[in-house]
Amino acid sequence: MQPWWLLSLRIGAFGFLKEFRPEDPYITQYLVGPIMNLTEHQVNQEVYPIATYIGLIQIVFVFLLTDFLCYKPVIVMNALSGVISQGILIWGRGLRAMQVMEIFYATMTACEVAYYTYIYAKVDKNHYQTVTSHMRAAALTGRFTSATTSQIMLSLGILTIADLNHLTFVGMCCALLCALTLPSMDYSLYFHRKSVQHPIEQKVVAELPQNKENCSEESSRLNQNHNSYTNTHSENGGDSQCVKKILPDFPTSVQKDDTALATAPTSKWKQVVQLLWMDFRDAYTNPYVFKMCVFISLATCGYNQMMTYVQILWVKIGGKQQEAFNGGVEAIYTIISAVSALAFGQVKGDWSRYGEAVIGLLSVLQGALLLLSSFTDSMVIAYTVYVVFGMLYNVMMVLTNSEVARHLNQDSYALIFGMNSFVALILQTILTFAVAGLGGLTIPIRHQFVVYGGYFAVLGGVYTIKSCFTMWSYYHLDHLLS
């Protein structure tokens, strides 16, 4: 078996390659440029919304399929979809071809859940935080490298925007080869769980009488130590009946363990549903976790919407033929966001008391920035807004995700964070249809950013007001205790 750090480096290499997409900062300019010759209206309302709609349909099935197929096939599909979408972008022409390209792009995005959950099923829980940082660092490094490369190539006249697509295609082909070499998995978090016998469980089984007729006598002796065994259960067929008599009232929360479900006369699908429901219920019945998850979904929805349509705004501000520095700005955004998120991760605070105030005020600031970008005619201001907005978002995600993870069972990380993404995509679909998609209001791009700015202002206002009640409750409690 490979050391955990070597596997982490291998999946990190895939993360770097899949994010090496030099054409991304200039995709809108390419679509409205002379090669594709699409209009801003078509890109805004008939091309970009496709990925949001298709992604919503796919993400639920992809999450279950990832666990059922044990990760690697979905990671391969992630890279293959990127290769196909990039191929269509290079050799396809016209509106219909670009809409098909968006379908494969949505598939690639939906399959990213495998990248972020594969490593959790492969390494020990003690290394979760370390391997998570490896994956995030690899993805950010790939994004920074691709943005820097694209800006240098364009500024020096070595490549054109169209040529960047070929460079991205090579990167995605390398990612596909890397995915194919990853080790396969024989187990997953839900469909193919490992059977693990805990030490205390082994002790119980070892002390079980060989003659089942003596079960009641042995039960009397072991019942004296009932409290020592309340967190155990058996997976050994007939002997499990003896353990059940010995430990009739162990906590329900423990029953979500795979060994308990393995003895239950239910199908694998029912077991999976039970596990999913238990993890879901345990997380979202915690008011603090629920509050943070709601914010994550709402903020991610607004962030993704801004990232999808910001290049159209830049084209509107600077024109199709302006000397774009999108790649350089993307590189600056990536490195500043990474450094600020890392630095904020070292800040210690009573976030249960002050966390709402922080995310509320930062969200209000994000709303103000988006409103500024909707009215400005300066590319410098528009670029600055993009960098600061993204930095604030990443800081807030560090705070909220870490707080959620701190209150979760580690096995439920993938489910809860996946659910947050799913809710965010539902909200983004509604928002896209309302303001940009055909059949909705189809409002101009500047007015869209007024809506997005108002969205974040309202979100921030709600959490800021809520923080006042939270801090008052803590103050009142401290006063009573003193």
DSSP string, 435-452: HTSTTS----HHHHHHHH
> Residues near 247 by Cβ (< 8 Å), separated by ≥ 6?
226, 229, 230, 232, 233
Phi-psi region of 16 (alpha: psi -120 to 50; beta: other; left: phi over 0): alpha
pLDDT at 129: 62
Give the torsion sign (CA, 310, 312, 315, 321): positive
In the chain the domains, ranked by start, together with CATH numbers, are: 1-189 (1.20.1250.20), 269-481 (1.20.1250.20)
Six-digit token string for 209 = 């009488």
Please state, in angstroms and rounded to a whole number, the distance separating the CA atoms of residues 24 and 86.
11
Render each residue's pLDDT in the chain as its tens digit; 482 residues: 568 788 888 888 999 999 999 999 999 999 998 899 899 889 988 999 999 999 888 887 887 888 888 889 999 999 999 999 999 999 999 999 999 999 999 999 989 888 877 877 677 767 766 777 777 778 888 999 999 999 999 999 999 999 999 999 999 999 999 999 998 877 777 787 765 444 344 434 444 444 444 444 444 444 444 444 344 444 444 444 443 333 333 333 334 444 444 444 457 778 888 888 888 888 889 999 999 999 999 999 999 999 999 999 998 998 765 557 899 999 999 888 888 877 877 777 788 888 899 999 999 999 999 999 999 999 999 999 999 999 999 889 888 888 887 787 766 777 888 888 889 999 999 999 998 877 778 889 999 999 999 999 999 999 999 999 888 888 888 778 77
Q: Are 470 and 356 in contact (CB under 8 A)?
A: yes
Please state, in angstroms and rounded to a whole number, the distance separating the CA atoms of residues 282 and 251.
13
pLDDT at 213: 41
pLDDT at 374: 94
Other residues' Cβ atoms within 10 Å of the Cβ of residue 352? 14
Which residue, chain included where needed, has tokens 């979100």?
459
Other residues' Cβ atoms within 10 Å of the Cβ of residue 474? 14
Q: Nearest CA to 408 among 311, 280, 316?
A: 280
Q: 262-275 burial by CB neighbour count: b if 16+ within 10 A, else e? A: ebeeeeeeebbebb
> How many Cα atoms occupy the beta-carbon half-sphere of 251 within 13 Å?
10
Other residues' Cβ atoms within 10 Å of the Cβ of residue 81? 21
Task: Give the gyration radius of the chain's Cα atoms.
Answer: 26
Six-digit token string for 322 = 């302006």
pLDDT at 273: 84
Six-digit token string for 415 = 């489910």
Let me know if 330 is exposed, middle or buried by CB neighbors in 10 A (0-12, 13-18, 19+).
Answer: buried
Which residue, chain included where needed, has tokens 């997976």?
235
> Residues near 29 by Cβ (< 8 Å), separated by ≥ 6?
161, 311, 315, 320, 324, 326
Kindly list the distances between the CA atom of residue 443 and the CA atoms of 40, 41, 342, 369, 446, in Å, as whole numbers in the listed order.
12, 10, 38, 20, 8
pLDDT at 25: 92
> Residues near 34 by Cβ (< 8 Å), separated by ≥ 6?
none
